């Protein structure tokens, strides 16, 4: 379930479609992708949010954000739950703004 405050102009687009695409490639995908993964839009900026862990495990989750140009931001510390990773993504946007993901082509956060 995705909960968004109407006061904020952000939208997670097509989470069901994203999960479908992930399922179609799952046979060759060594990762399990979170239901929180998908496209995130704010201020006309589109980011692809991916939260994943090795398939078939109960391992920690990796948070990765890809901007419109393909530049990637990956947190170097894993998260115990996919929800923790998603909440960190939202907190980063609240704290630093969505444009923080556009400033560096490759960024490691922890």
Give the per-residue pLDDT at 28: 72
Structure letter (DSSP) for residue 25? T
Segment 98-105 shows an average pLDDT of: 77
* Per-residue pLDDT at 30 exceeds 80: yes
Total count of domains within the chain = 1
Rounded to two decimals, what is the model's pTM?
Answer: 0.69
> 12 lies in a domain?
no
Q: Which domain holds residue 78?
A: 28-109
> 17 lies in a domain?
no
Give the per-residue pLDDT at 1: 31
> 19 lies in a domain?
no
The SS3 call for residue 109 is strand
> 62 lies in a domain?
yes
The SS3 call for residue 74 is strand
Contact status, residue 14 vs residue 39, Cβ threshold 8 Å: yes
> 80 lies in a domain?
yes
Q: State the maximum Cα–Cα separation within the chain, in Å, rounded to a whole number.
A: 40
Segment 29-53 shows an average pLDDT of: 93
């Amino acid at each position: 379930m995705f909960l968004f405050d109407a006061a904020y102009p952000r939208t997670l687009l097509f989470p069901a479609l994203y999960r479908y695409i992930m399922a179609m490639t799952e046979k060759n995908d060594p990762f399990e992708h979170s239901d929180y993964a998908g496209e995130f839009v704010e201020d006309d900026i589109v980011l692809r949010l991916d939260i994943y862990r090795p398939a078939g495990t109960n391992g920690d989750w990796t948070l990765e954000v890809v901007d419109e140009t393909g530049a990637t931001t990956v947190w170097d510390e894993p998260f115990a739950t996919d929800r923790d990773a998603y909440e960190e993504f939202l907190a980063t946007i609240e704290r630093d703004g969505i444009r923080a993901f556009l400033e560096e082509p490759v960024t490691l956060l922890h």
